[in-house]
């Protein structure tokens, strides 16, 4: 049998329970529902970072952020080209590699952005190609595409819609990053990515193994679906936001400032909230934001349906298909939106669907896995010689019951969870923060029990696990 093709589909900032296959009733995602009926659904899949750049670099290398140095969205870092990655390793086995959509393997220079101008992006594109990508249709994030001329921005400009999109994206005080896309449906960034992927799949050589990564930048903010997709959402069936009055009243909580203001906090939504306080968002705002988020996912589901159909026509059953998200989104839970410095299940427990070549049966597992397993799974399926990574094939994880501990990392941030207890350590705003949650008695993660004497042994064990994790790098 010839080497299998590999199709990796990712979304950006997608919380698991947005999908109807994970229980959402406010919006239906029928194409992903159908796909789940032919593969493995993971209920305990974890991102290794609540930020895009570290998570995406972990996906493409199979290594945790501290093992690549790609740990921060906000420092002048880039993924080291000397580290083996999915593109370089699959090319050694004869694969043609492509990416359609978002890369973000280097932090964005936010300080250079201007509301009146879209800047050149060619050095970033050249760098991405140098990682081993043979074909690239670059749409490197919704906001990036109004800040910088990636491939999508150029075509959007030629079509006459870039200025309107740029104006809406920069109008933060007017819309707080919630607005309908100011152009035809087919020019929404997620529509563009889907169309480029379909065109590529329809034209690629099925006799040569292909690694195709379709990387949607939605439903990451701005929350900007085309107006036509609002009719796909029934907010009367939406679950209420999970909020506890006074949860962040203690200044020792990581998100005290994000919620109450008194200076800019660390979660994304605080940056555009009135007074930098997520507490100042009202019920109408949350309703509009959540409606827009769900509508964006309906659009993405439509595009995924087209992509899966094109792949099936081109490759038949000889294709490994993986669907997941780089991380999740708070979406009003705990009174916040965004993901920065969030170790909550809303952000770290991501959707994951996997269908191996030649397999067409549904199953579900609660084995804890991490997104660092994607590279090992792809390389093993391809019959390639995998380099050392921090992951393993998903089936191997299922067979052994998954990882005893899952980890998440980022600049000044780390968390570890054993399935019941979750420990979070953050160094932010000149202070240290420590939190402990009992997912068994407090599944919504409202109560920080770090100071309870009866949990001292739990805290010590989880701190030891984090220390041991990082010591492997220090002693290497």
Q: What is the pLDDT along the chain (476 residues), one digit of tens a residue?
A: 689 999 999 999 999 999 999 999 999 999 999 999 999 999 999 999 999 999 999 999 999 999 999 999 888 889 999 999 999 999 999 999 999 999 999 999 999 999 999 999 999 999 999 999 999 999 999 999 999 999 999 999 999 999 999 999 999 999 999 999 999 999 999 999 999 999 999 999 999 999 999 999 999 999 999 999 999 999 999 999 999 999 999 999 999 999 999 877 899 999 999 999 999 999 999 999 999 999 999 999 999 999 999 999 999 999 999 999 999 999 999 999 999 999 999 999 999 999 999 999 999 999 999 999 999 999 999 999 889 999 999 999 999 999 999 999 999 999 999 999 999 999 998 899 999 999 999 999 999 999 999 999 999 999 999 999 999 888 76
pLDDT of residue 476: 64
- Domain match, 328 and 462 both: no
- Please say whether the beta carbons of 132 and 82 come within 8 A: no
- Domain match, 174 and 279 both: yes
- Give percent helix, percent strand, percent coil of the chain, each to the nearest 5: 40, 20, 40
Distance CA 387, CA 191 (A): 35
Range of the domain at 10: 5-399
- Domain match, 309 and 361 both: yes
Closest CA to 93 of 10, 6, 199, 214: 6
Evaluate whether residue 94 is within a structural domain. Answer: yes
Evaluate whether residue 197 is within a structural domain. Answer: yes
**End residue of a domain, out of 374, 399, 424:** 399
Closest CA to 26 of 212, 378, 289, 303: 289
Three-class secondary structure of residue 263 per DSSP: coil
Evaluate whether residue 404 is within a structural domain. Answer: no
- Domain of 445, CATH number, reads 3.30.1120
- Domain match, 190 and 115 both: yes
- Domain match, 162 and 250 both: yes
Closest CA to 435 of 341, 306, 371: 341
Nearest-10 crossing angle of helices 189-203, 283-315:
10
- Domain match, 333 and 380 both: yes
Strand order in the sheet with 406-410: 406-410, 413-417, 421-428, 431-438
- Domain of 290, CATH number, reads 3.40.720.10
- Domain match, 353 and 256 both: yes
- Please say whether the beta carbons of 66 and 470 come within 8 A: yes
In what helix (H) or strand (E) does residue 398 lie, and over which residues does it extend?
helix 394-399
**End residue of a domain, out of 338, 367, 399:** 399
**Token pair in block for residue 85:** 């990655």
In what helix (H) or strand (E) does residue 65 lie, and over which residues does it extend?
helix 65-68
b/e per residue 324-340 (b: at least 16 CB within 10 A): bbbbbbbbbbbbbbbbb
Taking the CA of residue 207 as centre, how many other CA atoms within 13 Å lie in the half-sphere pointing to its CB? 0
**End residue of a domain, out of 343, 366, 399:** 399
Evaluate whether residue 406 is within a structural domain. Answer: no
Evaluate whether residue 407 is within a structural domain. Answer: no
- Domain match, 339 and 464 both: no
- Domain match, 118 and 207 both: yes
Evaluate whether residue 212 is within a structural domain. Answer: yes
DSSP 344-374: SHHHHEEEEEEE-TT----EEE---EETTHH
DSSP 181-216: -SS-GGGSHHHHHHHHHHHHHHHS-TTS-EEEEEEE
Evaluate whether residue 244 is within a structural domain. Answer: yes
- Domain match, 44 and 146 both: yes
- Domain match, 283 and 135 both: yes
- What's the total number of domains in the chain? 2
Evaluate whether residue 405 is within a structural domain. Answer: no
- Domain match, 42 and 149 both: yes
pLDDT of residue 262: 81
């Amino acid at each position: 049998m010839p080497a299998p093709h590999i199709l990796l589909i990712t979304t950006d900032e997608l919380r698991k329970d947005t999908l109807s296959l994970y229980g959402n009733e406010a919006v239906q995602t029928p194409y992903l529902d159908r796909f789940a009926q032919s593969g493995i659904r993971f209920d305990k899949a974890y991102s290794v970072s609540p930020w895009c750049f570290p998570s995406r670099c972990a996906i493409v290398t199979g290594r945790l952020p501290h093992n690549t140095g790609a740990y921060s969205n906000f420092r002048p870092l880039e993924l080291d080209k000397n580290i083996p990655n999915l593109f370089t390793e699959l090319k050694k086995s004869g694969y043609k590699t492509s990416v359609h959509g978002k890369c973000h393997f280097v932090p964005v220079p936010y300080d250079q952005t201007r509301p009146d101008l879209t800047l050149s992006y060619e050095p970033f594109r050249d760098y991405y190609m140098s990682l081993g990508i043979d074909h690239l249709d670059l749409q490197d994030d919704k906001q990036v595409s109004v800040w910088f001329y990636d491939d999508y921005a150029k075509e959007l400009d030629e079509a006459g819609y870039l200025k309107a999109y740029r104006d809406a994206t920069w109008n933060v005080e007017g819309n707080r990053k919630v607005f309908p896309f100011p152009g035809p449906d087919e020019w929404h960034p997620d529509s563009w990515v889907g169309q480029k992927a379909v065109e590529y799949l329809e034209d690629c050589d099925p006799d040569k193994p292909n690694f195709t990564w379709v990387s949607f930048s939605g439903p990451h903010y701005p929350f900007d679906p085309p107006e036509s997709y609002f009719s796909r959402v029934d907010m009367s069936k939406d679950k209420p936001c999970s909020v506890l009055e006074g949860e962040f009243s203690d200044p020792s909580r990581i998100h005290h400032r994000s919620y109450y203001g008194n200076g800019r906090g660390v979660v994304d939504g605080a940056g555009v909230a009135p007074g930098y306080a997520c507490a100042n968002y009202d019920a109408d705002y949350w309703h509009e934001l959540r409606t827009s988020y769900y509508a964006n996912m309906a659009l993405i589901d439509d595009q995924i349906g087209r992509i899966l159909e094109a792949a099936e026509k081109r490759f038949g059953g000889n294709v490994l298909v993986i669907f997941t998200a780089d991380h999740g989104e708070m979406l009003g839970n705990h009174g916040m939106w965004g993901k920065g410095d969030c170790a909550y299940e809303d952000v770290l427990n991501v959707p994951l669907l996997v269908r191996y070549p030649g397999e067409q049966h549904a199953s579900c597992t609660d084995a804890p896995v991490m997104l660092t397993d994607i590279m090992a799974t792809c390389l093993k399926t391809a019959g390639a010689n995998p380099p050392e990574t921090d992951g393993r094939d998903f089936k191997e994880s299922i067979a052994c019951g998954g990882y005893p501990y899952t980890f998440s990392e980022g600049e000044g941030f780390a968390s570890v969870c054993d399935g019941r207890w979750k420990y979070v350590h953050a160094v932010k705003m000149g202070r240290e923060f420590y939190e402990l949650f009992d997912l068994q008695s407090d599944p919504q993660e409202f109560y920080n029990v770090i100071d309870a004497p009866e949990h001292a042994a739990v805290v010590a064990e989880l701190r030891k696990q984090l220390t041991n994790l990082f010591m492997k790098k220090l002693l290497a």
